Amino acid sequence: MEATANTGRMVDVEILRQDTENGQSRWEKFRVPYRHGMNVISILMEIQRNPVTADGKKTNPVTWDMNCLEEVCGACSMVINGRPQQSCSALVDKLTQPIRLEPMATFPVVRDLQVDRSRMFNALKKVKAWVPIDGTYDLGEGPRMPERKRQWAYELSKCMTCGVCMEACPNVSEGASFIGPAPLSQVRLFNTHPTGAMNKDERLAAIMGDGGVANCGNSQNCVAACPKGIPLTTSIAALNRATTVQMFKNFFGSDHMVD
């Protein structure tokens, strides 16, 4: 470690900065001392400690979101060298320099690399991505799920609402109503849950209109970008089938349909 610190090796970084939500963006260049095993968060913390640009000008510390630092919370998503990903797990040794950091363009910029992900959270509210139990009564353990179904449902539950799949999806943009792959996958997760299935029809209705599953262009960028490897396109395909069945149920009446 000491030998590494004394080599004088530096890391070149370019950051797209923006002081206010509607302010002009600009690029600033930085050079930070290299340390073995450092990640992008380490770079940002070094700049925060010493906010001086590569040409020696004092500047404001860079702002960004972070929390767990172990790829669980999803808060530190940003675009790194043109690819949306988690900055806590983006290792400097695996990145080409200069390392270019930008905020995700799918969401409004709050400041610098910090974005407002309310769009995704509002979509989760729209599809009721929860099991609606009020806690008034002790309902016991609830029904058990078959092990095979539980295993793939667990894969869907790994979603950390990081927004990377939304950023990678060409159908999610400021001017488009598509709710995106993450909320859709959560519909499948909660409709599969034995208790959550109480609201199955309601969730399917929420994604059958404008901005729902029909707006997916099947680019499959989302599943390639997801840091947790969640089978998002598989969920979307399953929901296409489920909404088709639901459409016939609505048209003919549930009494004449078999789920």
Shared domain for 110 and 129, answered yes or no, is no
Shared domain for 160 and 177, answered yes or no, is yes
Shared domain for 26 and 66, answered yes or no, is yes
Shared domain for 93 and 198, answered yes or no, is no
Last residue of a domain, one of 65, 91, 115: 115
How far is it, in rounded angstroms, from Cα 230 to Cα 228? 5
Residue 49, by phi and psi: left (phi above 0), alpha (psi -120 to 50) or beta? alpha
Nearest to 39, CA basis, from 115, 103, 101: 101
User: Is it the case that residue 4 has pLDDT exceeding 60?
Assistant: no
Shared domain for 125 and 104, answered yes or no, is no
Mean of pLDDT over the chain: 92
Shared domain for 105 and 183, answered yes or no, is no
CB 8 within 8 A of CB 31: no
Shared domain for 111 and 174, answered yes or no, is no
User: Is it the case that residue 6 has pLDDT exceeding 70?
Assistant: no
Q: How many domains does the chain have?
A: 2
Encode pLDDT of 112-153 as tens digits.
999 999 999 999 999 999 987 777 777 777 788 889 888 999
The domain that contains 42 carries what CATH number?
3.10.20.30
Shared domain for 145 and 238, answered yes or no, is yes
CB 102 within 8 A of CB 18: no
Shared domain for 135 and 170, answered yes or no, is yes
Binning pLDDT at 50, 70 and 90, where does residue 253 land? confident
Encode pLDDT of 200-246 as tens digits.
999 999 999 999 999 999 999 999 999 999 999 999 999 999 999 99
Q: Name the residue type at position 224.
A: A
Encode pLDDT of 174-198 as tens digits.
889 999 999 999 999 999 998 889 8
Nearest to 233, CA basis, from 176, 147, 171: 171
Last residue of a domain, one of 75, 100, 115: 115
The domain that contains 144 carries what CATH number?
1.10.1060.10
Shared domain for 173 and 246, answered yes or no, is yes
Last residue of a domain, one of 115, 130, 153: 115
Binning pLDDT at 50, 70 and 90, where does residue 256 land? low
* Domain span including residue 57: 2-115
Encode pLDDT of 15-74 as tens digits.
999 999 999 999 999 999 999 999 999 999 999 999 999 999 999 999 999 999 999 999
Shared domain for 140 and 249, answered yes or no, is yes
Residue 1's pLDDT is 38
Shared domain for 138 and 244, answered yes or no, is yes
User: Is it the case that residue 258 has pLDDT exceeding 70?
Assistant: no
Residue 27's pLDDT is 98
